[in-house]
Structure 1
Amino acid sequence: MNNSQRPTQLPSVSTISAKELVEWRNQHPDVTIIDVRSPAEFESAHIHGSYNVPLDSLAEHSTVLADRIGPRAVLVCQSGHRATQAQQRLAAAGLNTATVLTGGVPAFETAGGTVVRGAQRWGIERQVRFTAGSLILISLLLALIWPWSQVVAFGVSAGLIIAALTDSCLMGRVLSSMPWNKVKASPSTKEMIESIPIASSRL
């Protein structure tokens, strides 16, 4: 599709593909990309020019953020799951035009987009899978000598089911607070939000 055939604003849909976002950024430098992952994940790899507002912070300040960013806002995480939650929060605050990047940062890089890399860490979602799997495996192995250890496996399994039903993850929040998921100079939520330029449509 050539430039004359492309629309003049972001499509009124809830998601956008990585390839589309790469094209949109080339056409519209005012596209605001909000990365809702943890500061540590953002430091490890993020889309060039994106702004980091972790999901928990966005949830607490969704009204302020909704008033600041314009219609060309794209929400990003590792896979799209947390970005979807952020989209719902902003919609509740009155911003219905925020779009979710499908496939997250990895898909954007695969599509040829520029990604900035820093200290490498596993993403929170990957850490959750590893931790949950390890706890279940260890508890089942220990059950050979101590049957009560199976309770841990049942507990972790139940936690994962609850996380899916409620669309939240306690283990993910706990892991986010661990020392290895902290950055040396993490800005405050106020500083994060104020670093995002006010969209011209909001001026």
Structure 2
Amino acid sequence: MNPQLDPVAIDADEARTRLPGLTVIDVRTPGEYAAGHLPEALNIPLDQFDRALPALRRLPGELLVVCASGARSQNACRVLAGHGIRALTLTGGTQGWAGRGHELRRPAPGSRGAWAMERQVRLTAGTIVLAGLALGFLHPAWQLLSAGIAGGLVFSALTNTCGMAALLSKLPFNRPRPADLEATLAALAERGRPAVT
């Protein structure tokens, strides 16, 4: 692996002390972001990153990229490095942040956020495996469905990618509304403007 593309990781405690000087970008789906995010974090889902590159390039100061556990933010940092943008990643992601007792911002009480992507994947994979096993009583060929999901999970673990998560991220509750992404890009553009003295 190219060492120049390896993201620089900081832990939750260091990130918390440096938070006022960082621009925080959360690359999870909008539903995951709504379920709890770092203070002042802006949501740019990983699959929308290309649209944000010009605004991210103009930002002053340091950029901290976060996700649920750190895998997607590392991928985002590699994309940024490939475009000449240096960024930090949060070790352990928002899970590690919350695990250290640091505050996560959430929507108003009573509003319901979507499940974390990892939880959505577990539910979907488990449901398909159970369906394949149950349908296997009707015809043994249905058990291949369960075997296919098992193989996909092993491949996912070995490559640190997840095709099922990529598919689930396309569902409506995991997609950003155009207005939300435009507001985020406008906020980034505002931060990237030089201060008038």
Q: TM-score range by the shorter chain?
A: 0.7 to 0.9
Q: Contact 1:62 / 1:93 at 8 angstroms: preserved in 2?
A: no
Matched, 1:145 2:138: yes
Aligned partners of 2:161 and 2:180: how far apart in 1? 23
- For the pair 1:129 / 2:122, whether they are aligned, the reply is yes
Q: TM-score if structure 1 supplies the norm length?
A: 0.78
Which deviates more, 135-144 or 192-201? 192-201
Alignment of 1:112 onto 2:106 = no
Q: SS at the partner of 1:113?
A: coil
Q: Which residue of 1 aligns with 2:15?
A: 21
Aligned CA distance change for structure 1 residues 152 and 42 (closer, same or farther; 3 Å): same
**In structure 2, do the counterparts of structure 1 residues 109 and 165 end up closer, same or farther at CA, with 3 Å as the change threshold?**
closer
Whether 1:101 aligns to 2:94 is: no
Specify the code of the residue in structure 2 equivalent to 1:116: R
SS of the aligned residue for 1:120 comes to: coil
CA distance in 2, matches of 1:167, 1:69: 29
Matched, 1:42 2:33: yes
Which among 185, 191, 197 is matched to residue 183 of structure 2?
Answer: 191
AA in 1 matched with 2:145: V
| Structure 2 CA distance for partners of 1:164 and 1:112, relative to 1, 3 Å | closer
Q: Is the 8 A contact 1:140 1:149 kept in 2?
A: yes
Give the Å deviation of 1:108.
1.4
Instruction: Give 1:154 shift.
Output: 2.5
Residues 106 and 167 (structure 1 numbering): CA distance in 2 closer, same or farther, change over 3 Å? closer
List alignment gaps of at least 5 residues for structure 2. 1-5
Q: What is the aligned length?
A: 184
- Note the C-alpha offset of 1:103: 1.4
Helix, strand or coil at the partner of 1:150: helix
Query: 1:31/1:89 Cα in 2 relative to 1: closer, same or farther (>3 Å)?
Result: same
Shift of residue 65, structure 1, vs aligned partner: 4.1
In structure 2, the residue corresponding to 1:117 is in which secondary structure?
coil
Q: Tell me if structure 2 keeps the 8 A contact 1:47–1:114.
A: yes
Name the counterpart of 2:71: 81
Give the secondary-structure state (helix, strand or coil) at the position aligned to 2:138: coil
Residue in structure 2 matching 1:72, options 62, 77, 98: 62
Is 2:24–2:66's contact at 8 Å kept on the other side of the alignment? yes
Calculate the TM-score normalised by the size of structure 2: 0.80
Distance change (3 Å), C-alpha of 1:182 and 1:53 = closer
The amino acid that maps onto 1:157 is A
Give me the identity figure in percent: 32
CA contact (8 A) 2:7 2:77 kept: no
Instruction: List 4+ stretches of structure 1 deviating above 4 A.
Output: 164-167
